[in-house]
Structure 1
Amino acid sequence: MDPDVALILGLVIGGFSIPSILSAMSDRRPARASALTILLAFGLVLYALVTKSGGYQLDQIPDVFFAVLGRYF
């Protein structure tokens, strides 16, 4: 898997899991599914950071995001 795609998937999955965590906390139930999605997102971001030589800078993330979107759409 391309590190850019892994980074973007990890960030999107992590962003989508935040409402799930908040919902579980407000209903006072365990956030098991949310914890698994956070682990998946963390793993994807970590994979991207390890496999990309030189890593990513914070200001590169929007460029990478739109480059990946442009590649698939």
Structure 2
Amino acid sequence: MFADLDPDMLLVSGIVLLALALPAAIKAYADSDAPRLSAVLVLAAGVAILYAISLQPDGFQLADVPHAFVNVIGGILH
């Protein structure tokens, strides 16, 4: 069912979710609230990133991340 997912798309989605979790955590801290949304975003990001790494035969290197962003943005715009 999920075998046709693109590892680059999963990696980029996970990184974007992590970036969205930071403001949610800061807002929850400022409001003296529990960071529920932030925790869910971090969990979803972790699952997406780990699944992307497992789908990539050689894994991802740090230098592959910008290339993954370019591939995903190019695929969306094309």
Q: TM-score when scaled to structure 1?
A: 0.94
Match status 1:15 vs 2:13: no
Q: How far apart are the structure 2 equivalents of 1:64 and 1:35?
A: 25
How far apart, in 2, do the equivalents of 1:36 and 1:67 lie?
Answer: 26
Question: Which residue type is aligned with residue 62 of structure 1?
Answer: P
Runs of 5+ unmatched residues, structure 1: none
Question: Residue in 2 aligned with 1:67?
Answer: 71
Give the CA deviation at 1:52: 0.5
SS at match of 2:32: coil
Give the whole-Å Cα distance in 1 for the aligned partners of 2:47 and 2:62: 18
Give 5+ residue unaligned stretches, structure 2: none
* Distance (whole Å) between structure 1 residues aligned to residue 25 and residue 35 of structure 2: 6
More helix by share: 1
Is the counterpart of residue 6 in structure 1 residue 35 in structure 2?
A: no
Task: Provide the rounded CA distance (Å) in 1 between the counterparts of 2:32 and 2:43.
Answer: 21
1:31 aligned partner, one-letter code: P
Q: State whether structure 2 residue 41 is matched by structure 1 residue 37.
A: yes
| 1:28 aligned partner | 32
**Percent identity at matched positions?**
33
Q: How many Å separate the matches in 1 of 2:64 and 2:49?
A: 14
SS at match of 2:17: helix
Whole-angstrom CA distance in 2 between matches of 1:71 and 1:30: 37
Q: Stretches of 4+ moved more than 6 A in 1?
A: none
